[in-house]
Structure formats: C-alpha cells, structure tokens
Amino acid sequence: MSDRQQLAGLNEDYASRYGFHDPEDYLLKAPKGIDHAVVEMISRKKGEPDWMRAIRHQALDTFLSLPMPRWGNQELLGEIDFADIHYYVKPKGEQARDWDDVPEQIKKTFDRLGVPEAERKFLAGVTAQYESEVVYHSIREDLEKQGVLFMDMDSGLREHPDIVRKWFGKIIPPGDNKFAALNTAAWSGGSFIYVPPGVAVKIPLQAYFRINTENMGQFERTLIIADEGSSVHYIEGCTAPTYSSDSLHAAVVELVALPNARIRYTTIQNWSTNVFNLVTKRAHAHRGAVVEWVDGNLGSKLTMKYPAIVLRGEGAHGEVLSIAFAGHGQHQDAGAKMIHAAPRTTSRIVSKSISKDDGRSSYRGLVQVLRGAKGCRTNVECDALLIGERARSDTYPTMDVAEDDVSVEHEARVSKLADEQLFYLQSRGLDEDQARLMVVNGFIEPFVKELPMEYAVELNRLIELEMEGSVG
C-alpha cells in the first residue's frame, strides 16, 4: 500500500472521529484589547461563580504588572500588540470565514494530506461543527460508566466546580509568567478531565471528541487530574495545518498525577505561520507517578514552550520527548523543565529539532535537583539537525543540582545533514529529495515511534511536505 493509499484510508473515519454538536452561541462583542470590563463581561456571559471571576480579575492585574520575558527572541516577541487582539470568545458563527479567504498554501497542503472536505473547512475556520456521530456517544458512555469526566473546561467549571476550584491555577499560578497570567484572565475552552482512582482509560482521549468547545482556542485552559493509580493518555492537536487569523495563542495546561498515576499528554501542533504560540505546560507527579509530555511543534511564527514536570513524590518519573521543525521565517524555542523535589525521582528529556532554510530552533532546558532529593537520576539529550547553510540552532541548558548523590547525564549534538549520508543513499537509487527525507525521518524516528499510528503516518507525510524543494 502506498503512503497515499494509507493516508486515504486513514481519513475515512475522520468524520466519525469528530463529534461536535449542540452549538453554544456566545453572542459577545467587545472591542480589541483587554481591561477589567472585558474580563467582567467574559465571566458574566459564561455565568461563572464569583471565585472564578475574582481569579480572572486578579490575574489581569498580574498580567498588566508583569514585564515581557527578557529572554528568547526579543525581536519577534516585540511584534506582539496586546491592544490589537480580541480577548472574548467569539461566537462560532461569526468566527467562520469565507473559504475563499483561506490562503492558497494552506489549501494546497490540505490537498496533499488528503484532508476530507468537511474537515478542511473546520480546520480553516470556515465551519465550526460536524454532525454528531454514534462513535462519539459510545465512547462517552464507556467513559461515564468508569466515572471518567471528560468535557470542555467551561462545562467542567459548571458541572464540577469543587474539583476545578481545588486544582485550577495550583500547578501554574497566574503569576508564573505574563502569558499564563493573560490566559488565566481571558481563558476559554480547553479540556477538563478527571480519572477516578484505579481507572485505566484504555483509548487515548482526543480533543476531537469534546463537545461544544473550540478545538484549539486562543486562550485554552486544560486541567487533567489522574487520581491514585489511574492512567490516561490525552492527545491534542492535529498534523493538518491549523489556520488561524488570531495571532496570539497562549494556552495553559495543568496536569496532576496523584500517587502511582500515569499521564501521557501528546501534542502535535501545526499552526499557520502568523501565530505566536506561547504555551505554559506543567505537571505535578506525586509519589510513584509517571508523567510524559510528547510534544511536536511545527508551524507558527514563534513557539515558546517548555513542558515542565515537578517530581514531588518519591520515585516519581518524568519524561519530555519533543520535536520542533523550524522552516523559513520560523523560530521554535522549545525545551523542558524537570524539578526533582523528592528522593529517587528519575527523568528523561529528549529534544530534537530540525532547522531548515533560515529557520531557527532553540533548546532551552532546566533540570533542578532540590536539596534532600537524594538518589535522583536524570538524562538529557538534545539533537539538532541543520538543513542548509542559513539554518540555526542554539542550546541553553541549565543544570541546578543541590545534592551530591545524583546521576546527571547531558548530551547535546548539532549535526548538519551530511553530504556523505546523502551520497550513500543516492548510490542506492534514492533521488536527492528521497535521500534527504529518509535522513530526516530517521532523525525524528525516536519521537514518531511514540505516536499513535495514524499520527505517525500523518507526521511523516507532513515532514515530507515541509522538506519539499528544500535546498541542502
């Protein structure tokens, strides 16, 4: 079966994988920019409890008082104009745009990926919903029987205010950084998941199955709590390009893995290249818990994202496995943070980046071992692949270790796509594009093999598109 056939087959069940229904019609109009009046209106329209409204207002003050990050790509960060952004949740009907307005490049990529018609329009923001499907309901029934809560964050707040109140902003306080503060003030959408003790959720939960929510909102807010001994795999995003005219996306994702629980959070994002993708992701791993961030970043103009895990209980384990692809005009500034706050905790960071043309990727990482956290082990591997003479890669690793009894390994490699590799493959009949693609696919293989099959196939196909016409 050719790749194209595989892809075609892959897409047959796409419609059934989407299950949006029952539109919520937020008829909100607000001017651009954010102030207390806007925050008040967002909260009132959603009918939120007073405590959440108070959190929003307080977070707005924090946002206004915090400076922009003084590190990272200052030039690109300087382009963000907070006054020129809509902060309210737009009604879906008004968000829809004309298919004719969708850029040609995006349409072409849909074609090549074989994205079905209905889905294209959704991804491009032309339509917001699909017919609901039986599949969705059966999955939902299974989850309900197990006591798993899986809904959009707004519904989570409405239906389970106690759980939300207990954890919201506890992992990532609004004052953590300017963008987390902004998200806390203006959040809308995102997922809320609670898995009861001892429950293993067999199928990966995907954002696609949520109802009534923006799949990928500007300020989405996700909270996942895995209670003792439970396990869950959550997948967000998709490999098809996500066209958005909103230029700023500042999501916050909080994970709580209670003792011996297990959370894997897989993200594949491929924003259109006008987007600033500034995301704060952090997990708390309690005793014996395991948290894994699997994070793939393609697209966007500037991504700044450093999934973090606080290993706060003895024997907890954390992993961050990420790839970034920076093509023309893009800067992927990604990495990881591991805080070893308890004895015998272990962690692993594998970060891979590909920079092509004048694309730029940075690895920014922090590994911290706090006093008293004896017997910890950590392993960091950064691998950068440069394609072409103008591509750029930087590494900013920080190690802060307050204990002696610790095993720390760090490896960083920057390699150029080697002529000798290309010649070897060409001497076996692969043309230059095939050879280059094979080297790149090999490079990201350790990441791809962690993905569910359909995502792996899509990601490989997408990398193939990104690599087309590249000059080595």
Partner 1 sequence: MSETPRTVFACRDLRVAVTDSETGQAKEIVHGVDLAVRAGEKHVLMGPNGSGKSTLAAALMGHPAYRVQGEILLDGEPVADLPPHERARRGMFLGFQYPVAVPGVPVATFLRAALAARRGREIPVREFRKELAAAFRRLDIPRDFMGRYLNDGFSGGEKKRLEILQMLLLQPVFALLDETDSGLDIDALKVVSDGINAAAGPDTGVLLITHYQRILDHVRPDVVHVFMDGRVVRSGGPELALELEERGYDWLREPAPAGGGEA
Q: Which residues bind partner 1 (CB under 8 A)?
A: 2, 418-421, 423-432, 434-435, 438-439, 441-446
CB of 353 to partner 1, least distance (A): 14
State the Cα–Cα distance between residues 307 and 365, nearest whole angstrom.
Answer: 10
| Residue 388 CB partners (closer than 8 Å, separation 6+) | 356, 357, 470, 471, 472
List the structure tokens of 105.
């490049």
List the structure tokens of 341.
């706050």
φ, ψ for residue 127 (rounded to 5)? Answer: -125, 155
**In the complex with partner 1, which residue's Cβ is closer, 405 or 431?**
431
**In the complex with partner 1, which residue's Cβ is closer, 246 or 432?**
432
Q: What's at 154, amino acid-wise?
A: D
**In the complex with partner 1, which residue's Cβ is closer, 240 or 439?**
439
**In the complex with partner 1, which residue's Cβ is closer, 76 or 414?**
414
| DSSP 8-state symbol, 100 | G
List the structure tokens of 275.
């987007």
CB of 388 to partner 1, least distance (A): 16
List the structure tokens of 40.
């008040």
CB of 432 to partner 1, least distance (A): 7
State the Cα–Cα distance between residues 25 and 93, nearest whole angstrom.
Answer: 8
State the Cα–Cα distance between residues 210 and 196, nearest whole angstrom.
Answer: 19
CB of 444 to partner 1, least distance (A): 7
CB of 382 to partner 1, least distance (A): 15
CB of 296 to partner 1, least distance (A): 15
φ, ψ for residue 373 (rounded to 5)? Answer: -85, 80
State the Cα–Cα distance between residues 25 and 212, nearest whole angstrom.
Answer: 10
CB of 413 to partner 1, least distance (A): 10
**In the complex with partner 1, which residue's Cβ is closer, 29 or 413?**
413
**In the complex with partner 1, which residue's Cβ is closer, 146 or 426?**
426
**In the complex with partner 1, which residue's Cβ is closer, 96 or 438?**
438
Contact 224, 254 (CB under 8 A): yes
CB of 395 to partner 1, least distance (A): 19
Beta strands in 370-417 (DSSP E): 376-387, 392-401, 406-416
**In the complex with partner 1, which residue's Cβ is closer, 274 or 441?**
441
CB of 213 to partner 1, least distance (A): 37
**In the complex with partner 1, which residue's Cβ is closer, 48 or 466?**
466
Contact 289, 313 (CB under 8 A): yes
Contact 410, 380 (CB under 8 A): yes
List the structure tokens of 205.
């939960």
CA dihedral over 58, 59, 62, 63, signed as positive or negative? negative
> Considering only CA atoms, which of 439, 332, 328, 338 is closest in space to residue 381?
338
